[in-house]
Amino acid sequence: MGSSLIVFYLFFLVGVYTSADDGKRCERPEQMSYGHFVIMNVTEFAHGTTIKYICGPGMESLVDTRTCSGGRWDTPLPACEEITCKQQEPKHVRIVAGTPSTFPPFKVKHSLSFQCSSSELIMMGASTITCGDDGEWSSPFPTCSGKSKCDPPPVIEFADLLIPPNSEYHLNETVEYLCRRFYTMSSGSEMTCVKGRWIGEVKCSKPCVVTADAMVANNIQPFYAQKRTLLIPHGDFLTFRCKQGSSPRFSNLLRQQCRDGVIEFPVCQ
């Protein structure tokens, strides 16, 4: 009987003190530097009240909430710290420029520019990145790798290499193409090996075929040649004339230019 009374008395005391703690209010929390707090639930900082701290632009806090428990805040005052992006270890890459600098800490809107450590390497990824508001870079740090040599040059339609190709080419080596008969070089004639890739544009444009049947159908004939099939190189002009007794329809020009295998025929009637 006595022991039961003791246990009851202890439970009664614990309940009284717990209820008393639960009724305690917390003091008004301190203001943090570079931030402020808002009340998440309840009011007047009573037991169970939770407040959330909000840091200013470009700042962050590892702990952002506090709860009133038994008249005390459950965690120390949080601190706002500047958001920074982590420096990575780029592979075969060097930082060549930075705004405002190339050295950490890398804060929000800090930008870095990169180059490969060797001119023979190829950069994979963005050459310039920026630190974002979330503490993450706009793109991962780039990497540089790859071969500096090129495979044999590409096959170009209607063109041949001036000399037989090699099995591989070194940086800045060039090859020259020559258009086949009746085709016209309408761009550069060379390609250059740059960091494992061929750079340059080579194009051989097609000639225009002017058949006798096409001229008969349009009631025209060549001005300076006989009425027979003609081969007009790309870029050249051909002047037609109407057959005797006819005239151009819709003011069609009788002088037409060949453009990569296409020529407009004037129509006479």
**Cα(66)–Cα(40) distance, rounded to whole angstroms?**
10
**Cα(3)–Cα(13) distance, rounded to whole angstroms?**
15
**Cα(63)–Cα(51) distance, rounded to whole angstroms?**
11
- pLDDT tens by residue, 242-253: 988 888 877 668
Q: Which residues are paired to 68 by β-bridges?
A: 73
Q: Measuring CA to CA, which residue among 142, 250, 154, 146 is closest to residue 202?
A: 154
Integer CA distances (angstroms), 15 to 26, 52, 74, 162, 212, in order:
20, 30, 21, 100, 113
Tell me: pLDDT of 262 over 90.
yes
pTM over 0.75: no
Residue 73: alpha-carbon gap to chain centroid = 48
**Cα(164)–Cα(177) distance, rounded to whole angstroms?**
10
Place 179 in a pLDDT band, splitting at 50, 70 and 90.
Answer: very high
pLDDT for res 22: 56
Question: What is the token pair recorded at 133?
Answer: 């508001």
Task: Determine if the peptide bond prior to 57 is cis (ω within 30°).
Answer: no
Q: Are 227 and 215 in contact (CB under 8 A)?
A: yes
- pLDDT tens by residue, 66-87: 899 888 999 888 888 889 999 8
Residue 60: alpha-carbon gap to chain centroid = 29
Burial class from Cβ neighbours inside 10 Å (0-12, 13-18, 19+) for residue 210 reads: buried
- pLDDT tens by residue, 104-143: 999 999 999 999 988 778 888 899 999 998 999 999 999 8
pLDDT for res 183: 97
Q: What integer is the mean pLDDT of 151-170?
A: 95
Tell me: pLDDT of 236 over 60.
yes
Q: Letter for the amino acid at 72?
A: R
